[in-house]
Structure 1
């Protein structure tokens, strides 16, 4: 359904030009323009000196972004921060600068340019373009990997607290965060429910940067190294899979879920934290993420029925879907 204020022809043209705005946003983020406006408005010429850019070119990029509500421009050609561009400041609470740099890097941009081939063949072009599957490429390319992990942390830090507080963990003695990264989500679970003990489970090199100790939670949380494709720690009451299953094919997801099913304590549950695409044609962030997955990874965003089928194959039953203030939902499964 189109907006009543946008002519259908203009809608199509605007969507076609969308990548230009993304490129301009990435440029402003990479140059750190917002950081140089923290003390007040500046001209493009002054900003160009600050960030090491061509003044005329920078002006044209900022003019476009100002028209979209990112930055503002006054009558004298000075640019200032807006609530949107505040989030591009590196040190701003909830900064999204790293997220923008992640979302606009070539691991997503280049395969999306080959989307027609992907739709025709059912196989994405990532390995053809980069020579390796997605996560293998990140492991072998330090710069791309760092940009990706910083960006994911940036996105996750915004959503971890609200999601953790959307679920009642009080009935859990122990929670395992499977592939939990540096522990951002598990930290929020432990903060919200003081009776819970946690296990942060991930690869050793990931756990090296875990934030559990820095948050003073070492006595309540164990770091366990391993590979969720092989096994997960046993005996917990809840196994959290946050932004994990959407990266993988159905067959791989069923294997991961089976590991959790075999490991969990009696009466335990699996909590999948991913988008749940609703029926209908209304806008939903999961639909955008789903096409990103289609272009770059073997995974997908799923509907409630998709999750129901995955769980059934793993010996689990979908018990409920819990919405959260974030774009993600908590899909709970229990043993059959």
Structure 2
């Protein structure tokens, strides 16, 4: 379970201004340097990503949590070649992932601390998943996905991504932990931007381990909730809720959101669900939820919303992830969400932006 202690976030207008300045500076730099240099820098950024994944796999941040370590000490602790470690750390230090002190020892930075397994918002499993052989092998077939418009999993693994993850639990469990970690990145921004406490009962459809819902319930003692997901996902969740003291206010139900979802919610949450699916399948999910709702119920779709302009945006990366690994999944613009919701029997009433890339799309049944 995640912490329910609120964290102070910079004002949204400040973050938006910083984002615009960063995008402008990046564009200016790329326009000033020779084209081949700018492109090469983008290309070798993949090396940095893999280096971070290696640091996560080795548990370097956990070893540095107790204080600075020399190269020899760190190499012994994580059981690697000392010279190989020095070369890895030289790159990561130069980008601020770790720091090197005057005596040559290595230390954690604010950025590197997020690779700790016990960090409040840990990116260790995310980094391990993105750098895994499984994930890298899929992305090496991006050209095939672009040519065909189809996921590469069936050709490589003989099954879809979700089917493979269900039967190969080493991949599935790492993916589940990675997605839980990614979910925590947006929790504070979501809770700061939107008043979830105004609803009596919230149903988290496809809620996984219930991270967002338990945070909401922890901060709003009068609220109640239901976490709904596949049986394999929520098997052990009831015991965790009881240990967290939430079993009296939060129920767990298992099933498929393509077939039926629990009745009785004042609000239905869909966080990072619709982007996994084609418009046809997403519409099926929404129609299933629509059947469980009444005229006073609110639907809350939490997703990355693609901008209409050409500025960099995290959703543009994830959109390609959906192309490579899902059967028709994709990121959407606000206009596309509005159309999808309308076809499914909903009216989009407002879009609430947060300090994270995620938005809350609030809709009501028509």
Q: Report if TM-score (shorter chain) is over 0.5.
A: yes
| Aligned residues of 1:161 and 1:188 also touching (Cα < 8 A) | no
In the alignment, the residues of structure 2 paired with residue 39 and residue 196 of structure 1 have an alpha-carbon distance, to the nearest angstrom, of 39
Residue 317 (1) aligns with residue 347 (2): yes
| Aligned residues of 2:348 and 2:362 also touching (Cα < 8 A) | yes
Residue 255 (1) aligns with residue 288 (2): no
- State the Cα RMSD in Å: 1.7
Q: 1:221 aligns with which of 250, 267, 272?
A: 250
In the alignment, the residues of structure 2 paired with residue 26 and residue 170 of structure 1 have an alpha-carbon distance, to the nearest angstrom, of 38
Structure 2 unaligned regions, length at least 5: 1-23
Residue 155 (1) aligns with residue 179 (2): no
Q: 2:61 aligns with which of 25, 30, 34?
A: 34
| Aligned residues of 2:295 and 2:364 also touching (Cα < 8 A) | no
In the alignment, the residues of structure 1 paired with residue 267 and residue 108 of structure 2 have an alpha-carbon distance, to the nearest angstrom, of 43
| Displacement after TM superposition at 1:172 (Å) | 2.3
Residue 139 (1) aligns with residue 175 (2): no
Residue 264 (1) aligns with residue 293 (2): yes
State the partner residue of 2:90. 63
State the partner residue of 2:99. 72
| Runs of 4+ with deviation above 6 angstroms | none
Q: 2:362 aligns with which of 328, 332, 335?
A: 332
State the partner residue of 1:230. 259
| Aligned residues of 1:94 and 1:157 also touching (Cα < 8 A) | yes
| Displacement after TM superposition at 1:314 (Å) | 0.6
In the alignment, the residues of structure 2 paired with residue 165 and residue 238 of structure 1 have an alpha-carbon distance, to the nearest angstrom, of 18
| Displacement after TM superposition at 1:165 (Å) | 4.2
In the alignment, the residues of structure 2 paired with residue 95 and residue 169 of structure 1 have an alpha-carbon distance, to the nearest angstrom, of 24
In the alignment, the residues of structure 1 paired with residue 76 and residue 199 of structure 2 have an alpha-carbon distance, to the nearest angstrom, of 56
State the partner residue of 1:289. 318
Distance change (3 Å), C-alpha of 1:246 and 1:107: farther
In the alignment, the residues of structure 1 paired with residue 187 and residue 200 of structure 2 have an alpha-carbon distance, to the nearest angstrom, of 20
Does the residue aligned with 2:129 lie in a helix, a strand or coil?
helix
In the alignment, the residues of structure 1 paired with residue 140 and residue 365 of structure 2 have an alpha-carbon distance, to the nearest angstrom, of 42
TM-score normalised by structure 1 residue count:
0.94
Does the residue aligned with 2:363 lie in a helix, a strand or coil?
strand
In the alignment, the residues of structure 2 paired with residue 156 and residue 214 of structure 1 have an alpha-carbon distance, to the nearest angstrom, of 21
| Aligned residues of 1:234 and 1:265 also touching (Cα < 8 A) | no
Which string of whole-angstrom CA distances, capped at 9 and with x for unpartnered residues, describes residues 56-105 of structure 1?
11111111111111112245542221111111122233222122112222
| Aligned residues of 2:54 and 2:131 also touching (Cα < 8 A) | no
Which string of whole-angstrom CA distances, capped at 9 and with x for unpartnered residues, describes residues 13-38 of structure 1?
11111221111111111111112222
The structure whose RCO (Cα within 8 Å, separation 6+) is larger is 2
| Aligned residues of 1:107 and 1:296 also touching (Cα < 8 A) | no
* Alignment size in residue pairs: 336
Single out whichever of 111-120 and 201-210 deviates more from structure 2: 201-210
State the partner residue of 2:120. 93
In the alignment, the residues of structure 2 paired with residue 21 and residue 209 of structure 1 have an alpha-carbon distance, to the nearest angstrom, of 37
State the partner residue of 1:4. 28
